[in-house]
Amino acid sequence: MKILFASQNKNKHLEMSDLFLEHSKTHELVMANKDLNVIEDKETIDENAKKKALEYFEFFKMPVISDDSGLFIEALNGAPGVYSARYAGESSTHEQNIEKVLELLKNENNRNAKFQTVLCFYDGSEFLYSHGVLEGSITYQPRGSNGFGYDPIFEVRNSTLAEMSRDEKSEISHRKNASVNMIELLNEI
């Protein structure tokens, strides 16, 4: 079954497509040929993922998987959370978001954080959700040039995600955990 990935983020699509190729024999993830620019105005990543799935399904009329992810930092009471992509402002860059996080944490010893991803499948009649979490900590300065988003300041096992190869990152990724869980759910229907 072909399933539309409700995002124009090529990095996410590549990561997710690889996971579907590796773990699913019957499902293929395809990228949308148009970005619907769904406004993520909900209070949780689950609600945002559901909203995206509904809007993409209504437009494309095919089964959809949408995602929403967030960085949740203990010392910031879970921020940036649902606002991760626009933490430094509506049109902020990854670098500006990173700068804001590092500035807010500059005098903070507790640097515990986690990435969370939710995937939402919708086929016009049924919603399925899967979640993935990656625990880590926030560094004091960016390191590495791979990846995207907060990867240069998110450390796991003494390396930032941006210092890891794509394969290394995919092996531990919150998106991988959510994808594998989703593939298992899809195999049951």
Known catalytic residues? 68
List the structure tokens of 124: 């016009």
The residue assigned the tokens 């494309």 is: 60
Tokens of 149: 């988003």
Find out whether 40 and 48 touch, Cβ atoms under 8 Å: yes
Is the distance from CB of 115 to CB of 169 less than 8 angstroms? no
Neighbours of 178 (CB within 10 A): 26
CA distance 96 to 81: 16
- Tell me what percent of the chain is helix, strand and coil, each rounded to the nearest 5: 40, 25, 35
Neighbouring-strand partners of residue 70: 116
DSSP 118: E
